Amino acid sequence: MKLGITLLTTTLLSSAMPTFAVAQDDDTYEQRRELSNRIKKMRKVRKQVPIPVPSGLFGIYAFPEKGQGVAGINYQHYEFKGLLQGRDAVSAATVVTSAPNRFFGNPGQPPTLRVVPKKAKADVIFPYANFSINDKIALVALAPLVSKKTTMETFAGGMGSNSLGTKTVSSKGLGDIKFGSIFRAYNSKGNKHNVIIDTVLSAPTGSIKEEDVQLTPANTRKKARLAYGMQLGSGTWDALLGVAYWGKQKQWGWGAQYLATLPLESKNSQGWRYGNKHEVTAWLTYEWQPRLAGSVRLRGETQDTIQGIDPKIYGPGLGANPENYGGEKIELSIGINWMVATANNISLEFSKPVYQDRNGVQADHDYSLFFSWRSGFF
């Protein structure tokens, strides 16, 4: 009897096991099929939209239909370390014994610079949104939050290279709010070729009266207006005018952009303005997977010196001379772009100058990081 029960149990288990295995295989098959369908769907969607552009680009979006738009957040980080005179790296000791002080001849002003930046960093976070009012025109707006910090090294007296030490100065707050339009001049079927024109205004909402306590060559601490580059805005209404082209073929994407930043006023309320700035950039992207793309980008810029002068930005500091601003620079960037979901992507880009020819003496730009999150809404 026991033997019969054992045989029956064994028979029942044997007959059940294949059924369980088949059910398990069916579940695995369904999961694989679902994943395959999702990948196919993503590839189909990706064929209909442009390959996302690198993170550090301004004002490049496509709007296939009326009533669609993009919202997101961009984060930009800039690091500076050391000093440049034209194209050449120079030491602080060399600068304070040879670079002229613009204000020499005025009472108490030494012949050479006595306060120079040792290192600096800047962070900009700006939420933005744009919305297409028709198939050709989209409205765009962004509001930057700016934080700047510079470690200044001060040298004793009116000459020599005896360092008194360093003092860190900082500024933070709202920058210049930007708003305007993006015009889609051309868009081919499947977004294989696109041309857009940016027309954006920059309002002078950022402060140009930032102050902090500074270490003087007399070894005293004095609160004074910070250098031009430490201010949060330009103080003028500016026009940002650009044109961009980008295209794609299968997994490859490419593009180029020209962007000009032009002050619309001869000077701001404090008597100065930034120089005209022109930028050209070109990039190449490749989709490793339907959700993942890599990019390489080359960017060049040229900017004039600051025009005019703020009488409260004064003394033997490097940043107090308007001629120590602007110049030429070329940067090489590599990036990655992850498409989290349809019309929703995260991108990261690292940028490094490969050529610099700066006006006068300036802080050496070490590297930049760009992060962005973009989400389409319909």
Question: What is the arithmetic mean of pLDDT over 190-211?
Answer: 94
pLDDT for 1 beyond 50: no
Cα within 13 Å of Cα(178), Cβ side? 25
pLDDT for 251 beyond 70: yes
Out of 35-39, 54-58, 162-166, 347-351, least confident range:
35-39
Could you tell me if 121 and 78 are in contact, meaning their C-beta atoms sit under 8 angstroms apart? yes
Place of tokens 């200044």: 152
Query: In 10 A of CB 159, how many CB atoms?
Result: 14
Tokens of 210: 């930032």
CB within 8 Å of 202: residues ≥ 6 apart: 176, 177, 178, 234, 237, 238, 239, 240, 261
- In tens, the pLDDT along 76-111 reads 999 999 999 999 999 999 999 999 999 999 999 999
Instruction: For residue 315, give the 3-state DSSP assignment.
Output: coil
Q: How far apart are CA 185 and CA 190, in angstroms?
A: 15
CATH of domain 49-377: 2.40.128.130
Tokens of 204: 């002078």
- Using only the alpha carbons of the chain, give its radius of gyration: 29
Residue 20 pLDDT grade (very low, low, confident, very high; cuts 50, 70, 90): very low
Measured in degrees and rounded to the nearest 5, phi and psi for residue 243 equal -140, 140
DSSP character at residue 275: P
Work out the percent of the chain whose per-residue pLDDT is above 70.
87
Place of tokens 């297409």: 132
Work out the angle at residue 131's Cα, subtended by the Cα atoms of residues 127 and 135, and round it to the nearest 5 degrees. Answer: 150
- From residue 22, alpha-carbon distances to 17, 28, 34 in Å are 9, 10, 18
- In tens, the pLDDT along 262-302 reads 999 999 999 999 999 999 999 999 999 888 999 999 999 99
Domain spans in the chain, listed from the N-terminal domain onward:
49-377
pLDDT score recorded for residue 62: 55
CB within 8 Å of 377: residues ≥ 6 apart: 68, 69, 70, 71
Work out the angle at residue 136's Cα, subtended by the Cα atoms of residues 132 and 137, and round it to the nearest 5 degrees. Answer: 45
Query: In 10 A of CB 103, how many CB atoms?
Result: 16
CB within 8 Å of 9: residues ≥ 6 apart: none
